[in-house]
Amino acid sequence: MNKEDIKVGLGVVEKIIKAHLVKGKMVTGDETITRIDQTLTQDATGTMAYLQFEALGIPKIKTELAVSYVDHNTIQVGFENADDHRYLQTAASKYGAYFSRAGNGICHQVHLERFAEPGKTLLGSDSHTPTAGGMGMLAIGAGGLDVAVAMGTCEYTMRYPKIIRINLKGKLNPWINAKDIILTILKMFGTKENVGTIIEYGGAGLESLDVPERATITNMGAELGITTSVFPSDKLTKRFLLSQNRGDQWKGLKADSDAKYEKVININLAEIEPMLACPHSPGNVAPVRELIGKRVDQVIIGSCTNSSYRDLKTAAHIVKGHKISENVSFVVAPGSRQVLKMITDDGSLSALIDAGARIAECVCGFCIGNSHAPATEAVSIRTNNRNFKGRCGTQSASVFLSSPETAAACALSGVIYDPRDLKELVFPSFDLPKKFHVDDTMIIPPVSDGKKTKICKGSNIGEPPKNEPLSENINGKIAIKVGDEITTDHIMPAGSKLKYRSNIKKYSQFVFEGIETSFPKQCKDNRLDGYSNIIVAGLSYGQGSSREHAAICPMYLGVKAVIAKSIERIHRTNLINFGILPLIFIKPDDYQHLNAGDIIEILDIGKTITKNANLVLKNKTRNVDIELKHDFTEKEKQIIAAGGLLNYIKRKGK
């Protein structure tokens, strides 16, 4: 859709992009460069992002605001995480970023509370950065290297998206949460084949959804595989900012009445019912009523999706005066110290504790599998956003994703339970407080002269690995063949392995650990035999988190190409950023003609890509030729040719 040629009004997304457009046209699929106002990193991805920023040689962060959060690896088993945190604090001081200390809260919750602004752009090295879209921001998750480049240039390159409008009408019934809205949308859209799309919300139903509820929807919108989700900025947005002592940052933002969209979908909130995402995908959604009575072993309320004051106060009301089932381990993790302080002051924390809750730190923790792993073959009900097999820390566990209302009902009953059946309870009415507890003492602002700061690097912290420019020919061997919906968790495990993210040599030894433990050795053997390594995959390869390590570590092991039926947006960009060719089968059935161990050849790569022609892979083992497409933009061609984004920028700087 070309809004420059057609004289029509603009939607919210279009207005933000137009105000930030540096280069390119607002035409679906065209390459654009957008000005970035704010950046966000967290410790699991941020350490490498700041190492990459250092490698760029830029003396100071140039965006209006940059925040470095520590919220993932806070258990600090061993010295590695603590060393990373010390490095991040000194790097923030030197280069001009705010530093949110361990325990202050989850990056997305704290950013929504203290930094997000309507009409601004945000790029974050976490796939759930779109959470801030609930504030009327264009907030996009990306790989750490893209964020490092944005910190140094204030620019982000992307294809102009398709924009879908979802009109919400009506009002949610009692016991239904915003989480049930996004689970319903996930049931409609699924988790794959949504690349290059932004969802813009509108309709009269917005009048009943406050900013934290909107943020729940935009947060888990990441599971759709879309670029981001955006709400308008209205009187409820202003009210939230006033309650955070940030009323001066409010800006009204709404779509023009004649704005046009790729598609318009209408959803009646009154028809939404309690939903569950069943194992092992956020898109495997079913109504709670269809699963009532199934045994529950663990319930956890928290994560960046559902750990707001509203969510925890509601859960506390449900369990107050009751005891959780003796067979359930019940964990509650507030999203920020602000939330923790407020539920402490109003008595909600006592109600949770009296009911039998274990109170966890204000961090990601359980959501990424580094704490509170369930028992063998346990059923865990969680309010977070992902339930990939093994992500919780237990391969045999079954994780269901729910609202806090459903989770609390399950904790009390010991089985999957519809919260609407809690007949003895009065539904907890809730209005956002006029004033939230504001205490920014755990956020360290930038110093006036960062040049005096000495960067501290522990022994586990390495350097960003280097790659060579693209070879014209690939003589390769297929190191692994995987199926559909391979997530970045499958490629690079989280949990106990997170502490090695700043040590690529060590971390690369765990690539595909849960699928094929011999993959790193196979890659090494192939290279010793003179072959480059190739990965073959099915649909939606690389879905899930933004972790660029799912590209860095394979690159370190000599992977030169990923050949798949489809590749998700962030991971595709990360592959390009580290010089790995993301190639797509023209005929999906050709997937069956490639197997692990096959020797392949791709010739005249640079020349063919320059001509925008299809590449031809010759399977020398099976004597089969396979056509592959790439769809690179002009800039992506240059990045691939240079061997990655760091090489490209350094070469461009010369």
Q: Which residue among 218, 236, 271 closes a domain?
A: 271
Q: H or E stretch including 65?
A: strand 65-69
Instruction: Report yes or no on 453 lying in a domain.
Output: no
Same domain, 98 and 217: yes
Taking the C-alpha atoms of residue 198 and residue 484, their distance in angstroms, rounded to an integer, is: 23
Taking the C-alpha atoms of residue 1 and residue 26, their distance in angstroms, rounded to an integer, is: 8
| Cα three-residue angle 282-178-184, rounded to 5 degrees | 45
Q: Domain residues for 199?
A: 12-271
**What CATH number has the domain bearing residue 297?**
3.30.499.10
Three-state helix/strand/coil letters over 260-294 = CCCEEEEEEHHHCCCEEECCCCCCCEEEHHHCCCC
Instruction: Report yes or no on 445 lying in a domain.
Output: no
Other C-beta atoms within 10 Å of 567: how many? 24
The confidence score (pLDDT) of residue 6 equals 53
Same domain, 99 and 43: yes
Instruction: Report yes or no on 448 lying in a domain.
Output: no
**What CATH number has the domain bearing residue 606?**
3.20.19.10
Question: How many domains is the chain built from?
Answer: 3
Q: Which residue among 419, 444, 462 closes a domain?
A: 419
CB-count exposure of residue 75 (10 Å: 0-12, 13-18, 19+): middle
Q: H or E stretch including 474?
A: strand 474-481
Taking the C-alpha atoms of residue 533 and residue 559, their distance in angstroms, rounded to an integer, is: 4
Note the pTM of the prediction, 2 decimals: 0.93
Half-sphere exposure of 450 (CA within 13 A, CB side): 18
The DSSP string of 408-432 is HHHHHHSB---GGG-TTSPP-----
- CA-based nearest residue to 153, from 634, 652, 487, 614: 652
Same domain, 167 and 298: no
Torsion-angle region of 154 (φ positive above 0: left; ψ -120 to 50: alpha; else: beta): left
Instruction: Report yes or no on 436 lying in a domain.
Output: no
Same domain, 65 and 90: yes
Residue type, 550: A
Integer Rg of the chain from CA: 24
Same domain, 489 and 568: yes
Q: Which residue among 225, 243, 271 closes a domain?
A: 271
Same domain, 200 and 68: yes
Same domain, 376 and 229: no
357, 328 contact by CB (below 8 A): no
Instruction: Report yes or no on 170 lying in a domain.
Output: yes
Same domain, 407 and 511: no
Instruction: Report yes or no on 454 lying in a domain.
Output: no
Residue that the structure tokens 């957008």 belong to: 34
The DSSP string of 34-50 is EE--EEEEEHHHHHHHH
Residue that the structure tokens 């040049």 belong to: 451
Identify the segments of the chain with pLDDT beneath 50.
1, 654
Instruction: Report yes or no on 427 lying in a domain.
Output: no
Report the SS3 class of residue 155: strand
The confidence score (pLDDT) of residue 5 equals 52
Same domain, 230 and 105: yes
Same domain, 266 and 294: no
Same domain, 313 and 244: no
Taking the C-alpha atoms of residue 595 and residue 593, their distance in angstroms, rounded to an integer, is: 7
Instruction: Report yes or no on 613 lying in a domain.
Output: yes
Q: H or E stretch including 648?
A: helix 645-653
Same domain, 304 and 267: no
